[in-house]
Structure formats: C-alpha cells, structure tokens
Structure 1
Amino acid sequence: MSHKIAILGASGYTGAELVRLIATHPGMQIVALSADRKAGQSMGAVFPHLRHLDLLELVTIDQIDFGGVDLVFCALPHATSQEVIRELPKTVKIVDLSADFRLRDAAAYEKWYGKPHAAPEQQAEAVYGLTEFYRDEIRAARLVAGTGCNAATGQFALRPLIAAGVIDLDEIVIDLKTGVSGAGRSLKENLLHAELSEGTHAYSAGGTHRHLAEFDQEFSAVAGRPVQVQFTPHLLPANRGILATVYVRGSAETVHETLRAAYADEPFLEVLPFGELPSTRHVRGSNFCHLGVVGDRIAGRAVVVAALDNLTKGSSGQALQNANLMLGNAETEGLMLAPVFP
C-alpha cells in the first residue's frame, strides 16, 4: 500500500531533505508540496539536486486538498505550524518539524518562544518525537512533534545514563557544535559566507538557547526530579552535522556499557568501542547517530561524544522514522541509506 504524503514548507532545507528521503520510499507517494514565496515554481528550480525526480509544482497550503492525504509533514517556521495544524482535518496524521508542539507545558512554550501557544487543544494530543524512547506512543499518535536537532543529540548521549543513575545529575555539561543549515534557509547577514567561513563562535550561551526547554522537560521526566544541564552551542562553518561533547561525573567504563546495552538493538544508534570517538563526516546525509565514550585524566569523570546529521537524524530522517511507525511501515523503511563519504 502506498500512503499519500503532503509536505508543507517544501522549499526549506528540511522539506528538501524529506523529498530526498521519500523519493525512494516504497510505501509513500508525495501528492502535494507547499511553499509560500516560491509557490508556482518546480522543486527542480528551487533545489536543482532534485531535478531528476518527477515532482508536483509547489503550491500554497490553501490550494491543497487534504481529503486524500494520509500524512502531512509540516516543515514550517515556528509559530506558523500551530496556526496551520489547528485547521488540518482530524483524519490526517501529522509530523511537525517545528518547535510548536515539543513542550507539553503551554507556559513553558510562552516563556521560551515569547508568545502564547495558539493551539492548546492540539498540544494536548501531541507526542514527543524522539523515536527510540516514545515508540508506542508514536504508533498510536495523530500528531507527533519532532525534536530539536541539538536536543536530540544531547538526549541520545544522556537519557540512558540518567535513567540508570550512573552519573551525577548536577554536573552535566553539553558543549555542542552545529552546522549552519540548522539555522534554516532564510537570508541572514551573520550566515553569509564572508561572515561565517574560517571561524566558529558560541551563541545563546548562559542558558538562553531554546532547546534547553526540551532538556529540562525530558531529563527531569526521566530522572523523576528537576535536572538542569549547562549547554553551549557553537556554529561551525560547515553545512551539515552536529557534534556534542558531553562531560559527566561517573565511571567511564560504566557509562560506555550503559549506552552500549541501551542501544544494542537500535538500528540507527551506533555505540563505538570504548575509547573511540565519532565524527560528523561518518554520519553525513544519513539517519545514524554515532556515540563514543572516553575516560578523563581526572578520576571518576567521563566524556561522551555524539555525532549526527542535523537535517537527517536530527530532523527529516527522524520525522520519516516517526511517520513509518504512524503508518504501520517498518521503522527503517527508506532510511537505511549509507552516509555520504568523503
């Protein structure tokens, strides 16, 4: 059976990544692609790397007939998604890639995103989309909220350790580097080549990054008590990829064994042999996350490093993984492509 798929916001990076992945998916057919400013253009004109595909022309959302659509991927900007999803038919399943439904508490959303939640009824039914930890809920969901790409990376490194009680919950530091595509495709002066290349810099330091809301929500739920981490992201002069270096207090060998056991049967999470560390170039363009653990010269401390592609495992690949569960497909369908190297 081929499920009919609509992608809203197909002219952005995550929308294009969804098209790339679904193009070879045996159980999905793209029947609608929306854009705002680029409506009326072909996907091949907007993204020349997709010109070989037989794709429909980009249209505005109000031109789409959702009556025959099984699932919608919503790759729209924050705040826009709430307004659009609120009006979609109840018969349509939805995977949202924005931040609009990630936070269960509407007050927390208003605090971190600066405006009241516009769709509280839909928020109440949304399931957090970190696939490996919410499979059963995702299978039964109508609306799944994709995680932040930084938030996913940090959680893959830490959730099993918090659940197992093998690290000090009051001493967790996440130092994260991310590629520039995570900022989206809109024109921004600080993302121009001359402004960004040949350097790197920290941003949203001191506890101001919005993905901290997800860390607070998820880590506290796992631990059964409040957990706050230190988190500083850095912008790399690279197109894709996230590398998170996480510093924890605990036995390095126990940390490694805990992660290895937790992810032993996970198709997309690869724990490297103890002492080996991952690289973003080994997961580029794939739905895989590689994790490594080393000990520190200071006894009782460990370093966990996680690498994934922000556009795939951190966003569109995760979205497709969730959609597979929601539609009754094999979870890995369309996602086992090997990373691109070099």
Structure 2
Amino acid sequence: MTYRVAILGASGYTGAELVRLLATHPDLRIVALSADRKAGQSMAEVFPFLRHLDLPRLVKIDEIDFSGVDLCFCALPHATTQAVIAGLPRDLKIVDLSADFRLRDPAEYEKWYGQPHAAVEVQKEAVYGLTEFYREEIRKGRLVAGTGCNAATGQYALRPLIAAGVINLDDIVIDLKAGVSGAGRSLKENLLHAELSGGTHSYSAGGKHRHLGEFDQEFSKIAGRPVRVQFTPHLLPMNRGILATVYVKGDPNAVHATLATAYADEPFLKVLPFGALPSTRDIAGSNFCHIGVIGDRIPGRAVVVAVLDNLTKGSSGQAIQNANLMLGIEETTGLMLAPVFP
C-alpha cells in the first residue's frame, strides 16, 4: 500500500532532508509541499539538488487539501507549529519536527521557550518521538513530537545507564559539538561564512540551552527523581553532524556492557568495541548513531562519545522512522542508506 504524505515547511533544511529520504521510500508518496515565503516556486528552484525529482510545487498551507493526505510532516519553525497543528483535521496523523510538543508540561514549555503553550489540549495527546524508547506509544499515536537533535544524542548515550543505575546521577557532563545546519536556514549574522569558518564557539552555556528541558523531563522520568545534567553545546564550522562527549562516574566496563546490551538489537544504534570512539564522518547523511566508551585515567570514571547526523537521525530520519511505525510499515523502510564518505 502507498501512503500519501505532506510536508509543511519544505523549504527548510529538515524539509529538504525529508524529501531526499522519501524520494526512495517504497511506501510513502509526497502529494503536497508547503512553504511561506517561497510558495509558488518549485523545489528545484529552492533546492537544485532535488531537481531530478517529480515533486508538487510549494504552496501555502491553506491551499492543501488534507482529505487526500494520510500523514503530515510538520517541519515548521519553533513557536509556529502549535497553532497550525491545532487547525489540522483531527483524524490526520502528524509527525512534528519542531520543539512545540516535546515538553509534556506546558509550564515547562513556557519556561524554556518564553511564551505560553498555544495548544494545551493537543499537547495532551503528543507522544515523545525518541523511537527506540517509545515504539509502542508511537505506533498508536496520532501526533508524535520529534526530539531535539542535541537531546537525542545525549539521550542515546545516557538513557540505558540511568535506567541500569551504573552511573552517578548527580555528576553527568555533556559536552556537545554541532554542525551549523542545526541552527536552521534563516539568515543569521553569526552564521555567515566569514564569522563561522575557521573557528568554534560555545553557545547557550550555563544551563540556558532549551534542550535541557528534554534532558530534565526524560532523565528524571527514568530515574524516578530529579536528574540535572551539565550541558554545553558548541557550534563547529561543518554542515552536518553532532558529537557528544559525555563524562560520567561509573565503571567503564559496566557502562560499555550496559549500552551494548541495551542496543544489541537496534538497527540504527551501533555500540563500538570498548576503547573505540566514533567520528561524525562515520554517520554523515545516514540514520545511524554510533556510540563509543573508554575509561578515564581517573579510576571509576568513563567517557561516552555518541555521534549522529542532526538532519537525519536527529530530525528527518527519526521522523520517517516514526511515520513508518504509525502507518504499520517496517520501521527501517527507506532508512538503511549507507553514510556518505568521504
């Protein structure tokens, strides 16, 4: 069976990544693409790398006939999606790639995003979209809220360790490096080539990054008590990729064994042999996450390094993985493409 899908916000990076991945998906067909400023244009005009595909023209959201759509991907900017989704048909399956439905508590949303939640009733039915840990809820869900790309990387490194009790929950440090596409496609002065290339910088340091809301929510839920991690992200002059170096107190061998056991049957999560560490080069353009563990020179401490592509496993690939589950399709369909190298 072929399912018909729409992409709202198709002129952004995650929208383009959705199109790239869906182009070879055997069971999903793109029937509608929306954009705001670029409505009326073709995807070939906006993204020349997609010019070989036969795609619908970009239109405004209110021009789409959703009666002919089985599932909708929302790749819209943060703080705009709540009102849009609240106005979509109630029987439409939705995978949202924004931050608007990730936090279950509306008060937490207001705390981290600086404005009241605009669709509280819809929030109640949203399922958190970290696929490997919410599969059953996602299968039955109507609205799935994709995770933050940084939040996904840190969670893959830490969730099994918190659940197994093999690390000190009061001493966790996440030092993360991210590619510039994670900041979106809008023009920003600090993302100009002359100001970004040749250097790197931390941002939202000191507990200010919004993805901390997801870490607090998910890690505290697993532990059954508040868990607060230290988290500092850094922007690197590369297009794609996230590398999270996570420092924990615990036996390195137990840390490695816990992660290897937890992910042994996961098609997209690969735990390296003890002592080996991954690179963002290993996963570029793919839906894979690679994780490595080493011991520290200080006894009783371990270092966990997790890498993924922020546009694929961190966003659009994750979204398709969730859509597959929601539509009863094999979870890996359309997503087993090998990483791009070099």
The amino acid across from 2:200 in the alignment is T
Name 2:223's counterpart in structure 1: 223
- For residues 15 and 334 of structure 2, the distance between their equivalents in structure 1, rounded to whole angstroms, comes to 16
Q: CA deviation at 1:9?
A: 0.1
The amino acid across from 1:47 in the alignment is F
- For residues 279 and 44 of structure 2, the distance between their equivalents in structure 1, rounded to whole angstroms, comes to 31
- For residues 91 and 117 of structure 2, the distance between their equivalents in structure 1, rounded to whole angstroms, comes to 23
Name the SS of the counterpart of 1:333 in structure 2: coil
Percent of matched pairs sharing the same residue: 81
Give the aligned CA root-mean-square deviation in angstroms.
0.3
**Equivalence map 1:283-298=2 (5 Å):** 283-298=283-298
Count of equivalent residues: 342
Name the SS of the counterpart of 1:181 in structure 2: helix
Name 1:255's counterpart in structure 2: 255
Name the SS of the counterpart of 1:233 in structure 2: strand
Name 1:339's counterpart in structure 2: 339
Is 1:183 aligned to residue 183 of structure 2? yes
Name 1:213's counterpart in structure 2: 213
Q: Deviations over 1:104-139 (max 9, x none)?
A: 000000010011000001100000000000000000
Q: CA deviation at 1:191?
A: 0.1
Ranges of 4+ aligned residues in structure 1 off by more than 3 Å: none
Name 2:37's counterpart in structure 1: 37
Q: CA deviation at 1:91?
A: 1.4
- For residues 280 and 6 of structure 1, the distance between their equivalents in structure 2, rounded to whole angstroms, comes to 30
- For residues 289 and 51 of structure 1, the distance between their equivalents in structure 2, rounded to whole angstroms, comes to 29
Q: CA deviation at 1:240?
A: 0.2
- For residues 176 and 323 of structure 2, the distance between their equivalents in structure 1, rounded to whole angstroms, comes to 28
Is 1:127 aligned to residue 113 of structure 2? no
The amino acid across from 1:158 in the alignment is L
Q: CA deviation at 1:237?
A: 0.2
- For residues 52 and 102 of structure 1, the distance between their equivalents in structure 2, rounded to whole angstroms, comes to 35
Is 1:90 aligned to residue 90 of structure 2? yes
Name 1:74's counterpart in structure 2: 74
Q: Deviations over 1:270-296 (max 9, x none)?
A: 000000000000100000000000000
Name the SS of the counterpart of 1:40 in structure 2: coil
- For residues 11 and 252 of structure 2, the distance between their equivalents in structure 1, rounded to whole angstroms, comes to 44
Q: Which runs of 5+ in 2 are unaligned?
A: none
TM-score (norm 2): 1.00
The amino acid across from 2:170 in the alignment is D
Name the SS of the counterpart of 1:291 in structure 2: strand
- For residues 32 and 239 of structure 1, the distance between their equivalents in structure 2, rounded to whole angstroms, comes to 27
Name 2:24's counterpart in structure 1: 24
Name the SS of the counterpart of 2:290 in structure 1: strand
Name the SS of the counterpart of 1:107 in structure 2: helix
Name 2:143's counterpart in structure 1: 143
Name 1:111's counterpart in structure 2: 111
Name 1:15's counterpart in structure 2: 15
Q: CA deviation at 1:68?
A: 1.2
Q: CA deviation at 1:50?
A: 0.3
Q: CA deviation at 1:142?
A: 0.1
The amino acid across from 2:310 in the alignment is N
Q: Deviations over 1:177-226 (max 9, x none)?
A: 00000000000000000000000000000000000000000000000000
- For residues 303 and 153 of structure 2, the distance between their equivalents in structure 1, rounded to whole angstroms, comes to 14
Q: CA deviation at 1:62?
A: 0.5
Q: CA deviation at 1:24?
A: 0.4
Q: CA deviation at 1:341?
A: 0.2
**Equivalence map 1:197-212=2 (5 Å):** 197-212=197-212
- For residues 79 and 189 of structure 1, the distance between their equivalents in structure 2, rounded to whole angstroms, comes to 21
Name the SS of the counterpart of 1:84 in structure 2: helix
The amino acid across from 2:134 in the alignment is Y
- For residues 213 and 56 of structure 2, the distance between their equivalents in structure 1, rounded to whole angstroms, comes to 37
Q: CA deviation at 1:305?
A: 0.1
The amino acid across from 2:317 in the alignment is G
Q: Deviations over 1:44-65 (max 9, x none)?
A: 1100100000001000000000
Q: CA deviation at 1:79?
A: 1.1
Name 1:49's counterpart in structure 2: 49
Name 2:306's counterpart in structure 1: 306
- For residues 254 and 261 of structure 1, the distance between their equivalents in structure 2, rounded to whole angstroms, comes to 10
The amino acid across from 2:90 in the alignment is K
Q: CA deviation at 1:87?
A: 0.4
Name the SS of the counterpart of 2:233 in structure 1: strand
The amino acid across from 2:216 in the alignment is D
- For residues 150 and 330 of structure 2, the distance between their equivalents in structure 1, rounded to whole angstroms, comes to 26
- For residues 149 and 65 of structure 1, the distance between their equivalents in structure 2, rounded to whole angstroms, comes to 31
Name the SS of the counterpart of 1:110 in structure 2: helix
- For residues 15 and 178 of structure 1, the distance between their equivalents in structure 2, rounded to whole angstroms, comes to 19
The amino acid across from 1:83 in the alignment is A
- For residues 198 and 309 of structure 2, the distance between their equivalents in structure 1, rounded to whole angstroms, comes to 21
The amino acid across from 2:38 in the alignment is K
Name the SS of the counterpart of 2:163 in structure 1: helix
The amino acid across from 1:29 in the alignment is R
Name the SS of the counterpart of 1:303 in structure 2: strand
